[in-house]
Amino acid sequence: MTHDIHIIGGGLAGSEAAWQLAQRGFAVRLSEMRGGGETTPAHNTDALAELVCSNSFRSDDDEKNAVGLLHHEMRRLDSLVMRAGEVARVPAGSAMAVDRDVFSAEVERALHDHPNVTVVRERIDALPASGQTIVATGPLTAQSLAESIVAATGQDRLAFFDAIAPIVHRDSINMDICWIQSRWDKKTAASNEEGDYINCPMTQDQYRAFHQGLLDGEKTEFREWEENTPYFEGCMPIEVMASRGLDTLRFGPMKPVGLDDPRTACPEFPQGRWPHAVVQLRQDNKLGTLWNMVGFQTKLKHGAQVELFKTIPGLENAEFARLGGLHRNTFLNSPMVLDRQLRLKGAEHIRFAGQVTGCEGYVESSAVGIMAGMMAAAEMAGREWLSPPRTSAMGALLSHITGDAEAETYQPMNVNFGLFPPLHDVKKKQRKEAYTSRGKADFGEWLAQGALVPA
């Protein structure tokens, strides 16, 4: 099939861009190097849209949460990621978590079945000299293509480390010690009957010993070129958090508030008391056989992980389906090298999408893929692109990537209300709801103005 546009990279962003263009009648060639004899340090399969880190798309609350608002907007744009996410959904409280294998299979099925999409397993080593192109190769862009991008931008690529949390087999968890409960017993329609998290309690002595173990454990050694590369604050290795102070973890991923240990029930506390610290595990697949350790992304060596994590109460016999890992991510200095339509300055036939632009997170990457696809569709249809309002989640994210952020200090960013035009006249307690209400209204008006570009 001859194609109207070439998309390089079959991750979340590339898959979304392909879907948006194909649905509008454009012929898409989607190139993915995995499955063609190539892979990356983080991927385990050659599936399109493989989730290499957490299985969570974070909060699905679109009433007072920025990422929940982004979910809402993506659904209104017929997002393939949101479609597949609903098929693969597993209980996770107010969050949207998925069975990663079911999710990837659903994305791949939809694209393979679409008559306007051709998936080709091939590695692309250089930016095309002509023809409409979207580069969505993600933070693990192959070296040859990365060098081509550096040559085209005139800027050396930036980098940070991203860490992966371990996954535990459910039947190896000691439920005589652990219990299932959502924090403050909050549940949604997708929740399990008892709750959505397995909780492993720690006493003060156990916590202090664990904290010291994180500091002392053998870490992954860095290569010379990896020295002084910054971590992304939203995916900080747990041992790096531990190095910031004894109680840092107790106010972060090991927070015990709102979790009642039933083993400590007494007349004064009939539901049980809060432990000193808690390790939480979240369901990772639909069968409920795999659970990931929430917030436990790590750069500890595998042997050190097994030794230390088995000291966690309830995980003394834990069997790990996957241990934590660490990989180097690369991204563009987008405010400097991309225009407002995600086009490469000086080579406007090339757009970038996804995490390579410096957005962070599954949902954000997917959203930028949607926008890149819509931008390309508008251009090929001979229509002017109308950017989403900055008061929307998509508009705020796009504005950050393409100009609002300082180029000198540009770092990956999750969507958050700090990217939105402020509402100083609204009381602080009501501000989140005000942001989402305004965003929904303005996004709906944007759609009514003809944002959905036809073929």
Q: Do domains 5-157+332-448 and 164-328 have the same CATH topology?
A: no
* Distance from the Cα of residue 208 to its chain's centroid: 31
Domain boundaries, the chain: 5-157+332-448, 164-328
Pick the CATH number of 164-328 from 3.40.190.10, 2.40.30.260, 3.40.50.150, 1.10.10.10: 2.40.30.260
Q: What is the pLDDT of residue 223?
A: 63
Q: What is the pLDDT of residue 224?
A: 60
Q: pLDDT digits over 247-290, tens only?
A: 999 999 999 999 999 999 999 888 999 999 999 999 988 888 88
What is 153-189 written as a DSSP string?
HSSPPEEEEEEE--EEEGGGS-TTT-EE--GGG---T
Q: What is the pLDDT of residue 140?
A: 81
Residues 6+ apart with CB under 8 A from 388: 73, 371, 394, 395, 398, 443, 446, 451
Q: Pick from 264, 252, 353, 354: which is nearest to 313 by CA? A: 264
Residues 6+ apart with CB under 8 A from 306: 320, 323
The answer to whether 168 and 319 have CB atoms below 8 angstroms apart is yes
Q: How far apart are CA 443 and CA 390, in angstroms?
A: 9
Q: Which two tokens stand for residue 69?
A: 């608002």
Give the residues of the chain that fall short of pLDDT 70: 1, 155-158, 222-229, 453-455
Residues 6+ apart with CB under 8 A from 224: none
Residue 361, annotated as binding a ligand: no
Fold for 5-157+332-448, please state it. Answer: FAD/NAD(P)-binding domain (3.50.50)
Q: Which two tokens stand for residue 213?
A: 């173990």
Q: How far apart are CA 311 and CA 425, in angstroms?
A: 50
Q: How far apart are CA 287 and CA 267, in angstroms?
A: 37
Residues 6+ apart with CB under 8 A from 206: 276, 277, 311, 313
The residue behind tokens 């930028």 is 368
Average pLDDT, the chain: 91
Q: How far apart are CA 172 and CA 131, in angstroms?
A: 53
Q: What is the pLDDT of residue 311?
A: 98
Q: What is the pLDDT of residue 39?
A: 76
Q: pLDDT digits over 152-199, tens only?
A: 988 666 677 777 889 999 999 999 999 999 999 987 777 787 899 999
Residue 9, annotated as binding a ligand: yes
Q: What is the pLDDT of residue 455?
A: 47
**Partners of residue 159 on adjacent β-strands:** 330
Residues 6+ apart with CB under 8 A from 413: 358, 359, 360, 364, 397, 400, 405, 419
